[in-house]
Structure 1
């Protein structure tokens, strides 16, 4: 953001100079970056390939090394003499010593194979003795995870870092259970791999190389200080701790690094080992970085030379742009009648002509916006007039509601339920009038207000008034302006029922018609003569203010419909003397779908 702000504050001459310089130097810059980036990528790829080959070599050599204890474990676990010595019941220590001396296979294997550092057989045999070859499985040993895993895997080999009781050090060991001669008893064979042989495999590697078991414990490393530690203690990267095989990027100690992992899965084993090699990208890209720095020096020198040549050219163009900026400033002060004249058919000349066209278009747009705002203000004025006329007498609405509620409760106490119901309906109607805003409401809500008003009038006129509200169910949530139907119903009662002794029926109907919805309020009251009907239609069409002082007049409803939906939605009045009057209006489909009711 600071760079953008600095560029915006910079003079046009300098900005153009920087633009041209960037255009001239960009190919050179891209070429340098491409070449140096390619060089760096090749270096990393070669190093990755080399490390991958090294890891594969370590994996194969380690596999050859652990194949020795794996083969010997096959022989020992099928050796009946071993099973007999480990499992038989001894009467005294002399029998134990004689049996141990008579079985020499373990000592022979240790002397023959330099890959091994120890062979131990763990059994639960109360009469046996410990001689570092046959070891009594104590409760501590029985509770070890490796011992329990060996028993559970039933003859499969496992590889874990286990402490040699004789030497007191941890060693990579093969673990395998086998049945003894005694039914139901099992022994566990542990063959330790010589640590020196493992380290001899890794010490030739130039990058950090580790061999870890399935618990992420380091069983071998070309760095002696990490042997025996958990991998999470020195490398917290999740990719390294996972068991995925392959080559990928990682962040080690805050440095970009490459990690190569190979799995070692010995045959007939329930777990395996992983060979991990880690190298820092910065170490192998040192030469490539030197080339990149040299490229930066060359590019900087080229940029400095370009500044001297291009700055003069930028000055020529900046003068014409300054004229354009000056005229824009005049327009900013409100001088829309300004006209800019710049010679030339280049981009600056085209920009000047576009500027003139823009000024003209903005002037027209301002006029349209002003007209729209005037229409919107007029709609709000009509709406506010309705609310004002309906609530002019309600100086303190809360006091009025409380008073009505007191009257209603008193009517209930005196068993005047019809009066209580009428007071409650009046209270609801007044409250809904106060809550009506300038936004649209659902047709369902408007009809609730109409029903309250009709029930109040029905309380007044009793059997002389009846009404029917007919609306299609799918239109109940249709958005309409508030207080748009109730004034029509009030007009029907005032001009239809009061002049008809036998009463009247008020019908409110909302139904879907092509491309919109038709809402009609009709009565079978006294109707209007032709001259009166013509005068009403003329007053609505002439758009004059309602001068009769009514609370809600047809004039206000008609104006709001025309302002919101256009002339096609104006009130349509039909009336015959003695037959009644119907008032209808139309809401277009496109406008109705774009509006939503105000549920506040």
Structure 2
């Protein structure tokens, strides 16, 4: 993995590499530091807001507790007031007695006048002899079935805090509702003390964050945003499990469509069946707005600085890369063969020094190439002459033994009987001798070589009579293929002399020339006596021998070497043979006659 990165960097252009190094060394670290610092600034702003929220909630809790504790203390006092017990449980005979008792009982009015935290006091008592003066109220069936009334009865003397409607003034207030038992009379009443909502509202209006007092039913009792008073948490899109479940602590959630920080603290007065919760909410986006503005300003300054630096780096790298590009173009000219090329680059830095060294090297290489070209010219001329001589010498190395035997056979046949067949044989022999004399040309067509082979085989058939048979199979597509002269005829001669001459019943020689892909495969086969593995090995060693031996001047090595000189080392002879099964020799030549040398 690391090696691939190194390779990719090395493959970059110089200008790209300089810009990349600037980005890695300067651009990325500056961005990392910038994002880190701006992130820390945002986090500090958020943490300060969280701490301030905690302080605000604590302050609201203390001041709210001071207000509602007054209601609780008075409720406790009324629960032990003997005069209240007497007034609530007395059986009145006349209306005058009721009015007189109400006039003498001033505790409720005195409490409202003495404590500004309490706006009104009501007492519900099931006494049919009492009248409703908005302080003592006989409960109707509707009141008895009201949830707040039932909660107070079931609380058995514990205070219940409810946000409920005041029957007299028809407005919602936070009320302390408590059942007061009169054990001596085996009766009870329900006391309701309404908290002064203006005082609660004044407490919250002093807070900077959205702050609310919520009862146990998630009803907003008071809030510094007055439009929320009387609503539930669900009404302000604040329905979340931890909040609606009554939990306390810090939470994050969506309030009024904004992601916000929420702090909830519980306020449960002493000897109360339920309590209140103080909820403070601030929008995270609003808190970090100033930090984000500073962040944007800082990022803009950093970005502008980096862009300016990048432009300067681009200009500087352009100056450097243009000089390197000029040097590279001159190197390409030298690679194209313009050895005497000179580059002019100003400066004494490494690039200027490299240019001067290049000019010196160019001059040295040009002189050296002139010497090499002259040497190669002379060597090529020498090799050409040597190959020409070698081809002519090889083509002229024909053993006259065949001609002697043929002429002797013709003489003996003419002596015994004067047939016209002798005329044909003499004609074929003349044709062969004429073609042999013309063998000094570099190439002939395969059809001409096959024609000479046919003449040779017909002459040998005349000599051996029925002991020799031959077959020629030549693909018409291969007939025009160029081939060196006297390539196939020596192979056929070896097949006749060494393969069939010593075989009592004679045999058959087959010559095939087939097109295989883009090559021509020439094969000479006989069904003669064959060769032992040792003989075949010696023959193959002779073909591969580096020096020609005197007794190998004519024959297969001659053919093998000429094929390799003409078409390449892979185009030599391939021999297969077995004793009693005959011999097969084949080789390949290019179909178009492309030459190796």
TM-score normalised by L of structure 1: 0.48
- Answer 1 or 2: higher relative contact order, Cα 8 Å, separation at least 6: 1
Instruction: Please tell me whether Structure 1 or Structure 2 has the larger radius of gyration of its CA atoms.
Output: 2
TM-score normalised by L of structure 2: 0.48
